[in-house]
Amino acid sequence: MSRKLHKKKSAAIGFKMPYLSLVEHPEAREAFEAFGYKVIRLSRDNLLDQYISFKLAQINNAWRSDRGSMKITHFAAEPADVAEAFQKWTEWDSRLAQIVETLPNLHVTYEELVDGSGVFRSLEFLNLRKVPLHSPFRRQRSGSQSDILENYAELKDHFARTQWARFFVG
């Protein structure tokens, strides 16, 4: 198919989709296949860090580092809410992986982007030169898990004998 959804001429053109878009609209997968798109599926390895970032963004209504700031920097979390988020995100990621499994796809974690290895893997996957990339965005969260979560010890104890224990890194 020679038609594309864009008119730009470039070695690569991309866009970011909200995480649930393909889960909620799996029929879009057919368009990705027809256009020969490649998918880079981004997830977070540490779901507690994801939960903290999500809640801070929600509490502060600051979803991007270039729009808004974190005035509230710590909070208490209910164990049931944390468990529900972990379960939901794990299920969504699994469903998304299944939806894109027959498309050219690469799974990269946020942690790999931060350490740089995910950037170079992504460039290689897209057949682009390995060059340093810079983002205008900065990490919004500062402080450790235990600095931000007022009831960190309680949560760590609650999840100690679960599949989620590995996310509590201090």
Structural domains counted in the chain: 1
Binned at pLDDT 50, 70 and 90, residue 2 comes out as very low
Assign residue 62 a region: left if phi > 0, alpha if psi is -120 to 50, beta otherwise? beta
Domain assignment of residue 156, yes or no: yes
Q: Say if 136 falls within a structural domain.
A: yes
Question: Model pTM?
Answer: 0.84
Whether 106 is covered by a domain: the verdict is yes
CA-derived radius of gyration, the chain: 18
Write out pLDDT tens, residues 76-106.
999 999 999 999 999 999 999 999 999 999 9
The domain in which residue 38 lies consists of 21-167
Domain assignment present for residue 16? The answer is: no
